[in-house]
Structure formats: C-alpha cells, structure tokens
Amino acid sequence: MIVTGLLMGVVLGAVMQRGRFCVTGMLRDIFTLRSWRSIVALFVVISIHAVGIAGLTTAGVISPKVDDFAPLAVIAGSLLFGLGIVLAGGCASGTWYRSGEGLVGSWLALIFYGVSAAAMKRGALKPVNDFLGERTVNMRTIPETLGVSSWWFALGLAAFTVYAVNFFLQCDALRGPKATLNEPVWRRPLHLYTAGALIGILGVIAWPLSAAAGRNSGLGITTPTADVFSYAATGNLKFLNWGTLLVVGILLGSYLAAKATGEFRVRLPDAVQAQRSVIGGVMMGVGASWAGGCTVGNGMVQTSLFSYQGWVALLFTAVGVGIAAKLWLKPTQEVAAQPQQVAEETSFHSFAVSPVALKVRTEAKQGLRQIAEQTYALDTLGAVCPFPLVDARAAMANLEPGDRLVIDFDCTQATETIPQWAADEGYQVTEFRRAGNAGWQITVQK
C-alpha cells in the first residue's frame, strides 16, 4: 500500500507546480507587499483539511494523535525555519517541487535540509532535539482545552475562508483582470485558490491512504525527507515508507508538470544564491525538526487539527519570514553602485544582496539599460523569487510616468507575482510572452 504515497506525491507535486503554491511567498507577501491575498490560499487548504479530518474522525475512519505542546521547541524551531525558508527561496514542499523545475539552488537547499533533519531526528544532533521536545506542557488542541467539538472550529474557519476568498475575488473583479500569457488552457497556471482547494482535498485523502500503510498521519515533509536521506545512506528498508514515497512523488510530479508545459530548465545559482541555499537548507532542517513539522506538517496538518503546535508554529514561522524579509530582501539596485564591495563581501551580511540579477550596462536610470525612447531593460535571469519582483518594484520607482520597463525573468513564480503587482499598482502590461523554456519577458508601463 505504500505505493499510494508515490501516486499521492505525483499529483500533489503537479498541483503545487501548476499553482505556484508556496507558503514562503504567501507569508512574504504580507511583509513585502502588505497583501493578504495569497495567504488566503493557505486558509483554503486548512479549512478543507479541517472539515475533512473532522468528518473522517467522526466516521471512525482515522484516529489522529496530537502530542503535548512543546512551546520552546516549537517557537525556536519555527522562528529558525521561517528565517531559513527565505534564504533557501522556498519552504519544505516548495523546495521539493522547485527542484523538479530544475533549480539547482533548490537541489542544494533540499540536500542540506534533508541531511540536517536526519541528523536532528536520528543522528548526532538527536540529543538536542530530544531535550527541546521533552519540555512540554499538558496542552494539545484548542477544542480540547475549551471542551467543545472540533466541528465548531472547522466550520467557523471554513466560513471565514469563504468570506475572504469572495472578498479578494471581488476586489480582483473590480480592478480588472491581470495580464496572462496567450497560451492554451492546459499550459496556464492554476488559480492559487483552486490549487489550495485541490491540495486541501488531497490532504484529506492522504489520511486513510497513509493509515492503510500503517502510518497514522497525513501529509508530511520533514520526517519523510529525513527518511529519504537515511535510506540513501544506510539502505535500511524501515526508512522506505509511505511518507518517503510521497516526497519523491512530489519531485516527480513537479518535473512532469514543468516538462509538459515548457517550464523545466536547469538553472544554476550564482555563488551568493548557492551560499544562501545551503545555509537556508540547514536552518530549515534544524528548525522543522525542533518545531515538529514544516509549513505542511504544522502549517497545514496540525493547524487543521487546531493544535497549539500548529497555530503557534505558523505564527512564529511568519515572524521569522518577516524578520528575514526585512534583513535580506534588498533590491539589487541598492548595491549596483558598489560592485567591488559586493564581490568582496564574504560574511553573513552578503545575504543582504540578491543574486546578481540586474546586469548593469549603463548609468541611465540608476543602472537600467535604455533600449528605446522611454523604454528600459531589467534583466533578472537567474534570480530566484522574490527578487525579480523586488527589483522590478525598485526600478519602477525610478521611472517617470509613460516610461516602460522590459523585465526578463526565469522564475516560474514571477509569471503570477509580476502581473499581479502590475495590476494592483495600476500599471499597464503592454506585452507578456515566453522567451524559450522557463523564460519570460513582460513589459510594464508606468
């Protein structure tokens, strides 16, 4: 029955890739764009998941188990995890599916995430993990503390989510549609809320499938990732399980979806992004192990059970993302005037510099290359999200009304975030086209 984990992973990976579904980006938007639109997709997942789990539990199909709350481990681990996912350029599931798109930086983050998680869970660092995890309080779920049925929370959250989805859809309708690529329907990305609904349904289905394989849990990323690397290192069959095949399936499903739609291409990071990916991956593995889960295990599953662990973890992951966004998500243009200083920077402060995305050719418009009258080029090829958008916002701030900015990028997520930003700001998109496999060009007029 463990083969169902692989099938579940393939579908999940394809949905995440086509929906550009990344919790890191959702949390990051709150701090960088002051927008709550994308985080609603996570609440879609949690709401559907919560109702489904309540129904399966009531019917006696599954018996979810929630451990006592370990506040120190959850808070410290989630904070560290939130910092790490910004450096790595994606959360745990995001790192798996972006690896399937060909991002070598995600491969690095994934390797160090898996190795560090394995070390924390069953390797040399296990005593540290155990020490933090044993500091618990006798609190498991919010409904249990209040002595009420989880159905009240599940239905209440679902009602709030329906309101929020309707609110943002109405806002988008009043504002007008954002620019989209002129492509067949099957090559177009899924709406983020649609992707959230599908992931929520898959999360519910995962419970009975996983239970049939002897695993009392639903979707999960950190422990299965640690198991993948433990199995690769030892060959011990106990590490080959439903969860292991799930995460391998996410990689495979993402690759198949990206390959079929022309969004797969091997993309090498520069030295700065490679360094960020390695350190971010380690922080992810250690943090998720301390916290007892990542943005899937805690942010989607435990929140659906209304456990203290899930909601506290989600809160402090968001705090970590906010701190990281403030510290490290700087426009390339802020350092373009000091290339020698940037090249010599080898300390942790180098994380303040985005990947070398803005290729300065002239001094016009603070580093932008003028290619026609009132038209300037911004080259962000090779930059991971959110840097194409970060640099585009900074560049547009230096332009005059009527000026056009031609942005070249190869970050898949930016096919949604840049048009959405342009629509929100009232900028006109005069052209949006593909530029080869996993490459795009968009022209935005101020």
Q: Catalytic amino acids? A: 385
Strand partners, 307: 141
d(C-alpha 176, C-alpha 414), whole Å: 19
| Among the listed residues 17, 91, 2, the one whose alpha carbon sits nearest the alpha carbon of residue 300 | 91
β-strand 440-445 against 404-409: which pairing, if any?
Answer: antiparallel
ω into residue 189 within 30 of 0, thus cis? no
CB atoms within 10 A of CB 354: 27
d(C-alpha 393, C-alpha 390), whole Å: 5
- What number of helices (H) and strands (E) belong to the chain? 18, 5
148: left (phi over 0), alpha (psi -120 to 50) or beta: beta
Six-digit token pair at 397? 């701030």
Q: Which residue has the tokens 């904070």?
A: 79
Are 191 and 168 in contact by the 8 Å Cβ rule? The answer is no
Helix, strand, coil percentages, rounded to 5, for the chain: 60, 10, 30
d(C-alpha 253, C-alpha 16), whole Å: 9
For residue 230, which phi and psi values (nearest 5 degrees)?
Answer: -65, -40
3-class DSSP state for residue 405?
strand
Give the torsion through C-alpha atoms of 423, 428, 433, 439, to 10 deg. Answer: -60
Q: Which residue has the tokens 């016009």?
A: 364
